Amino acid sequence: MDEKQSQPQVEIAIDAPGEPTQPHSQPNFIVVKQSLLLVLSKFHAGYFRISLSLCSQALLWKTLGEPIRDAHAFRQVFSMIPPTAFVLLWSLSLFTLLSQSLLYFLRCLFHFEMVKADFLHHVGVNYLFAPWISWLLLLLSSPFMAPSTIYYQVLCCALLIPVVVLDVKIYGQWFTKGPWLLSTMANPTSQLSVIGNLVGAQAAAQMGWSEGALFMFSLGLIHYLVLFVTLYQRLSGSNSLPVMLRPTFFLFIGAPSMASFAWHSISGKFDVPSKMLFFLSLFLFVSLICRPTLFKRSMKKFSVAWWAYSFPLTVLALTSIEYAQEVKGGEAHALMLLLIVASVLVTLILMVITALRTNMMLPSSSNPLQSPVSSGTATSASVG
């Protein structure tokens, strides 16, 4: 009896310590690597809209901090903002953009098939312009480099090359039709390709490269006219995009606003073409905010698509600054103040919500290695 009772005791003594030690047999770096791969599998190009918003906000603050003659009372209010606040915002934008660029670079290394899926997706391919636009905006708002320096010019050229390459790819496919026929592939995010050219025109104009600025501006404006007419004819509102992507309708404001801002830099004054483009932006802005029910369903659950509100509104506020400076009227400066406050508040609210709901930033998936642009409507929502 004693021998029979001792056998299970021996078995328990051997097996018990072995079971809990198995999970700890894997090194910590393997767990970290698996977590990193999981993040990279879900980090698509659409997340660059965060850096796009922050970098445009940095350019807005830099513009407000520039000294001007005969400043209106509303404009003098912003002179009380300490320069340190702008430097902190610019540094935050730089850190965010560097982090996102590094993540997407690692995604290219470890999940190239997903990057290819982004490239072939009718929404995801447009957000490939976003990192280059963000870097150009960050360069335009830099407090450390002047446009006349050689470092500024070299960086600007290096950032413009990918924009032109993507132009050749996308616009070339539109011309040659095939599966990339514009009438079937166009969506509000397609305007990011136009915005990329217009930001490039702004950067070239700041460096004094008038011919290069006109080249980029004409390339962006002509394609904007074609794209705007195409979208105007085929978009019926709710059934053209998934519900989560409806905030991207605000990109309708971003393209003409950026065109107005860029043409002001090219011509040297806020003339009639700049005013016409600014008024078009205002009309589109009013048209969108008068239809809150269009965005009601997309606001029920937080997603990175919410950041689509910030960038177009910031560019519109930027353009309103130049318009108010040209008109020099109280009404124009009141409009400028209203748009600037709205832009800053929207950006701050999005930053707070994003910080509080970081766990909701990456889409959940049953297969962690599945690309977010690999299946239907749900993938469009995650990319857009």
Contact criterion met (CB below 8 Å) for 41 and 369: yes
**Who wins on pLDDT, 292 or 41?**
292
Q: Which of 218, 229, 311 is nearest to 259 (CA)?
A: 218
Contact criterion met (CB below 8 Å) for 253 and 313: yes
**Who wins on pLDDT, 185 or 102?**
102
Q: Which of 258, 247, 256, 253 is nearest to 350 (CA)?
A: 247
Q: What mean pLDDT is predicted for residues 267-276?
A: 92
Distance CA 358, CA 371 (A): 20
What H or E segment, with its residue span, contains residue 87? helix 83-110
Q: Over pLDDT 70: what percentage of the chain?
A: 80
**Who wins on pLDDT, 99 or 6?**
99
For residue 106, pLDDT over 80 is answered with yes
CA atoms within 13 A on the CB side of 121: 29
Q: What is the DSSP letter of 296?
A: H
Place of tokens 């299946």: 375
CA atoms within 13 A on the CB side of 42: 17
Distance CA 104, CA 146 (A): 29
pLDDT of residue 18: 46
Per-residue pLDDT band at 70 (split at 50, 70, 90): low
24-41 b/e with 16+ CB inside 10 Å = b?
Answer: eeeeeeeeeeeeeeeebb
For residue 297, pLDDT over 70 is answered with yes
Contact criterion met (CB below 8 Å) for 97 and 51: yes
Q: Where are the domains of the chain?
A: 44-358
Q: Which of 189, 306, 342 is nearest to 251 (CA)?
A: 189
Distance CA 101, CA 305 (A): 18
**Who wins on pLDDT, 143 or 41?**
143
For residue 255, pLDDT over 50 is answered with yes
Q: Which of 261, 258, 254 is nearest to 325 (CA)?
A: 261
- Least confident range from 58-67, 307-316, 345-354: namely 58-67
Q: Over pLDDT 90: what percentage of the chain?
A: 48
Contact criterion met (CB below 8 Å) for 119 and 173: no
Q: What mean pLDDT is predicted for residues 113-137?
A: 89
CA atoms within 13 A on the CB side of 184: 7
DSSP per position, 237-258: STTSS-GGGGGGGGHHHHHHHH
Q: What mean pLDDT is predicted for residues 327-344?
A: 90
For residue 237, pLDDT over 60 is answered with no
Per-residue pLDDT band at 61 (split at 50, 70, 90): very high
Neighbours of 142 (CB within 10 A): 19
Q: Which of 322, 325, 166, 333 is nearest to 258 (CA)?
A: 322
Q: What mean pLDDT is predicted for residues 204-209?
A: 92
Distance CA 46, CA 130 (A): 8
| Per-residue pLDDT reduced to its tens digit, 11-28 | 433 344 444 444 444 566
The residues, ordered by sequence, that sit 6+ positions from 207 with a Cβ below 8 Å of its Cβ are 147, 148, 152, 153, 156
| Per-residue pLDDT reduced to its tens digit, 128-160 | 999 999 999 999 999 988 888 999 999 999 999
Supply the Cα-derived Rg of the chain in whole angstroms.
25
Contact criterion met (CB below 8 Å) for 282 and 306: no
Distance CA 101, CA 48 (A): 8
pLDDT of residue 262: 95
Contact criterion met (CB below 8 Å) for 328 and 268: no
For residue 171, pLDDT over 50 is answered with yes
For residue 245, pLDDT over 80 is answered with yes
For residue 176, pLDDT over 60 is answered with yes
Q: What mean pLDDT is predicted for residues 204-219?
A: 93
Q: Which of 185, 192, 285 is nearest to 234 (CA)?
A: 185
Per-residue pLDDT band at 196 (split at 50, 70, 90): very high
Q: What CATH architecture applies to the domain 44-358?
A: Alpha/alpha barrel (1.50)
For residue 315, pLDDT over 90 is answered with yes
Q: What mean pLDDT is predicted for residues 114-120?
A: 85
Average pLDDT over all residues of the chain: 82
pLDDT of residue 153: 92
pLDDT of residue 132: 95
Question: Greatest CA span in the chain, whole angstroms?
Answer: 105
Q: What is the DSSP letter of 72?
A: -
